[in-house]
């Protein structure tokens, strides 16, 4: 019973921390249900909501936008894992098994965050030079 209460508390804490990110990042002009399956309006809404522009961007810039969104989402996941590991460590109550599990999760999340940041840096450098070399920047 105590374990379930701790899990529910941890879930509630993560929900309180993460939910503002999703609530504040909702697009102001969300897609209409009637336009969900086609038409120029839907394409323009998708491009706008994903930050892909108004059709004036080249494929390199679209790829850069998609990579930035994907790596940003992965970064959010890594930070949430770090918060969960910290919460587990704080609530371990001196139990070495729980502390070791939290340390392992924290280490993996930090390594993942470093990999995500390195991937973002490399992708940003390569795509910026590609866009400049091809002359598609607007």
Q: Looking at per-residue confidence, does 129 or 10 come out higher?
A: 129
In this predicted model, what pLDDT tens digit does every residue of 54-104 receive, in sequence order?
Answer: 556 667 777 778 888 888 889 899 999 999 999 999 998 888 999 999 999
Dist CA 95 CA 104 (whole Å): 14
Query: Beta-carbon neighbour count of residue 137 at 10 Å?
Result: 11
pLDDT band at 31 (very low <50, low <70, confident <90, very high): very low
Taking each helix axis from N to C end, the angle separating 96-134 and 59-90, rounded to the nearest 10 degrees, works out to: 170
What local confidence, expressed as pLDDT, does residue 34 receive? 47
- Contacts (Cβ under 8 Å, ≥6 apart) of 99: 89, 92
In our burial notation (b when 16+ CB lie closer than 10 A, e otherwise), range 58-84 reads: bebbbebbebeeebeebeeebbebbbb
| Residue ranges per structural domain of the chain | 2-134
């Amino acid at each position: 019973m105590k374990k379930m209460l701790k899990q529910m508390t941890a879930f509630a804490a993560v929900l309180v921390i993460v939910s503002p990110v999703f609530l504040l990042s909702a697009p102001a002009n969300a897609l209409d249900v009637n336009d969900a399956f086609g038409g120029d309006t839907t394409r323009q809404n998708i491009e706008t909501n994903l930050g892909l522009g108004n059709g004036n961007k080249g494929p390199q810039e679209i790829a850069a936008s998609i990579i930035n969104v994907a790596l940003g989402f992965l970064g959010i996941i890594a930070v949430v894992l770090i918060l969960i590991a910290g919460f587990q460590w704080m609530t371990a109550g001196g139990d070495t098994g729980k502390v070791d599990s939290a340390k392992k999760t924290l280490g993996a999340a930090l390594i993942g965050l470093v990999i995500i940041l390195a991937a973002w840096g490399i992708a940003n450098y390569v795509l910026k030079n590609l866009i400049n070399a091809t002359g598609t920047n607007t």
